[in-house]
Amino acid sequence: MLRGAAAAARRCGLGLGPGSGRGQAGARRCSGAARRRQWARPAGHDSGIVAYNSRSQSKEPLVLGTEGVATWYSCGPTVYDHAHLGHACSYVRFDIIRRIMTRFFGIEVIMVMGITDIDDKIIKRASEMNISPVALARIYEEDFKQDMAALKVLPPTVYMRVTDNIPQIISFIKTIISSGQAYATSQGNVYFDVKSWGKRYGVLTTINPDTQDEAVDSDKRHGKDFALWKAAKPQELSWNSPWGKGRPGWHIECSTISSAVFGKQLDIHTGGIDLAFPHHENEIAQCEVYHQCEQWGNYFLHSGHLHVKGSQEKMSKSLKNYITIKDFLKKCSSDQFRMFCLRGRYSSAVEFSDESMEDAKNLLQAISSFIRDANAYIKGQLVCDPVREDILWERLANTKVTVKAAFADDFDTSRAVAAIMDLIHHGNRQLKAVTKDAGSPRSSVVYGSIISYIEGFFNALGMSFGERQVPVGGDKSAVLSSVIEELVRFRTKIRHYALALPEAADAVPGEGVAGAKEPKQEQKEKRKQLMQERKPLLEACDSLRRDLAAFGIHIKDRAAVSTWETVEGGQTEKQTEKKS
């Protein structure tokens, strides 16, 4: 739909952050054709961090709306297949940033991640597999969450599915239409009118909405207009709307979900650099129309692509050059991949190869070896010459300062890790074993402090030394939970339908008591007939509840919801399903 505009954006260059000279030079070359809007420093509290902001294409002080709290929206996956290392690289890098903010700067992060669980790819894959799009999305949503857990990526504060927010999305679109920045077509589609937004369009890129579009064969007014609502195709999953049956466009989902939680005040928005245009650009336009604000999303942080060695192309499913997270974790540990991510800037492209993973593995082994030797020295198992404690204390203090400064400078993990490795180098230099114990006192405290700091550093970033790395195993409890959830959801719909009987008619005004009795009696008879017809449905629901109880799964029907719980190892797991 936006291939012409996307190509123009690539020609003008998307800022990839420090070190991406080609993108910045490209932006300068195109500055004469279209000017990007100025970024305004938000009011609030300085976090002490400077971050590269794609909105301004420069490093900016990270100012938070609430002191000590960061609101953060993360674009989540489109759940139609297994996640691959390209996805992992982005999510692990941002997990590291989140941990730095929390553990090193004392910032509480409130993160929302949107899950795209209805999409062209989901519909196509579900058709190929002969299952419903909803079932397919639930399978791969759970698969994604398992992969993230295996990579030690912290879950967001809350996941939010697109299909759980359809009414909010429709309301969001109606507001944009009423503001004059969107239009509905006779075919039941709704588009954002990019030209009507004028020079306000083009925050992350140097796209000019007035430039000539490539010709498009659709019901759009202009080539750069993008879909807010898509009319349903035959046999396609859809929802009712003022414009007919359909489903949301891609960009409107994140705008609605983020706004539903954070309103118009959003500190940080993250995603891969490939999402900057058109996805994030369009999100900004939608939200600034909806909220009638000058600047929505104060900081946009983008992670660089993961390239396969010897290729300039990113790892992606469409190029069929990907490695799934599950396959990767059969050979390497999550700590190895995290070290691989730590060694480069999050905003830079990174090359994946066997050699780069071997380098990460060697670094981990060097750290583990030092910790083992230092522990042996503390225990008296390793005898050394007298240690220059003053040098080591000074090195430790300097390392702490360097690490904090590196993290404050756009989360520079490579500089921080280099400082840790330098500390280890100097620690190792004084751990020279001697054959004869001269009886000199051991400097256990300084080495204990160094070990504590190094282990604390890596633990804070999601790594652990000495912990056995277990490959992703066959734990099916999460899958079973999803199956039960779907079963209870289906049962709830059946039960709700069986109980949804029409109310007895009120007396008709002006006909008197006698005249009102006949229609009331007819209504009672109709209700009685419906109750008899639907009774088998309720009996089947009750039978299913009894049968599941025999397996330790207990369903409780309440006024508005049905809940289920199962006892495993003495603990009760509870879930709630709303009636629909």
Please write the tens of the pLDDT for every residue from 456-470.
999 999 998 754 333
- Our separate counts of H helices and E strands in the chain read 17, 16
What's the average model confidence in pLDDT over 318-334? Answer: 88
Give the pLDDT score at 553. Answer: 85
pLDDT at 416 over 90: yes
Give pLDDT tens digits for 440-451: 788 999 999 999
What's the average model confidence in pLDDT over 503-520? Answer: 54
Contacts of 237 (CB under 8 A, 6+ apart): 118, 123, 132, 133, 134, 247
Higher pLDDT, 258 or 523: 258
Give pLDDT tens digits for 166-205: 999 999 999 999 999 999 999 999 999 999 999 999 999 8
Give the pLDDT score at 318. Answer: 64
Phi, psi dihedrals of residue 270, rounded to the nearest 5°: -130, 160
pLDDT at 244 over 80: yes
**CA–CA separation, 322 and 45 (whole Å):** 41
DSSP 168-224: HHHHHHHHHHHTTSEEE-TTS-EEE-HHHHGGGS-SSS---TTSPPPP--SS-SSTT
Of the chain, the end-to-end C-alpha distance in Å amounts to 34
**CA–CA separation, 227 and 346 (whole Å):** 31
pLDDT at 481 over 70: yes
| Backbone region of residue 352 per phi and psi (left: phi > 0; alpha: psi in -120 to 50; beta: other values) | beta
Average pLDDT, the chain: 86
Q: How much of the chain, in percent, has pLDDT values that exceed 90?
A: 65
pTM to 2 decimal places: 0.78
pLDDT at 514 over 90: no
